[in-house]
Amino acid sequence: MKLILFGPPGAGKGTQARRLQETHGIVQLSTGDMLRAEVDSGSELGLQAKEIMEAGQLVPDDLIIAMISDRIDQEDCKDGFILDGFPRTKPQAEALGAMLAEKGLDIDHVIEIKVDDDAMVKRITGRFSCDGCGAGYHDEFQKPKKDGVCDQCGGTEFTRRADDNAETVSVRLQAYHEQTSPIFSYYKEKGLMEEVDGMAEIDAVTEQMNALLG
């Protein structure tokens, strides 16, 4: 199964994608995670992306498209994948279509996680994740059961993203509405667009998603 998840920053794409990865055995491809790994490794791509990401803007399409095309060719993607954070612009959506056609693949589902923008700033500014397994937490809405210890893997090191601050969040939300939302008509025309209520509890969102995926 090949799936695209849409939603503004804070909508829960990463959380839901990790759950689908476990239940459906398909790999989560987060372009944000891939770029953060490039930044941490100090690669050429990471150096190009760092400042753009810290400002909340979008990394140039050609860099992202090349990165995702290489990733899809890897062995672990052969049973399917969840695209989380890609495509984010019309040229990326068109390049994805062409790239998949060339590889003889197709997208099965496109799901938008619908949320209220106002709630996203609060969600994003309080979030952090486990360095060991990537499990996501929140200062207010989802604290680890034991303070400072990951519920999933017992890890004790956590990270907050450099771009999860109030100023950058508003630029990221604006980028989503101006550059990403216009792609929906492209997928609507293909009859692929579906949506879930992302303001519901995390488990309820997963249930809605599973109902769509069958």
Q: Which residues bind ligand AMP (CB under 6 A)?
A: 9, 31-32, 35, 52-53, 56-59, 64, 85-86, 88, 92, 163, 172
18 is annotated as an active-site residue: no
127 is annotated as an active-site residue: yes
Return the amino acid letter for 51. E
172 is annotated as an active-site residue: yes
Q: Which of 71, 90, 114, 161 is catalytic?
A: 161
Using the structure block, give the residue that is written with the tokens 């390049």: 95
CB of 190 to ligand AMP, least distance (A): 19
CB of 214 to ligand AMP, least distance (A): 26
Q: Which of 13, 36, 146, 188 is catalytic?
A: 13
CB of 171 to ligand AMP, least distance (A): 8
User: Which is nearer to ligand AMP, 38 or 193 (by Cβ)?
Assistant: 38
123 is annotated as an active-site residue: no
Which residues are identified as catalytic? 13, 88, 127, 161, 172
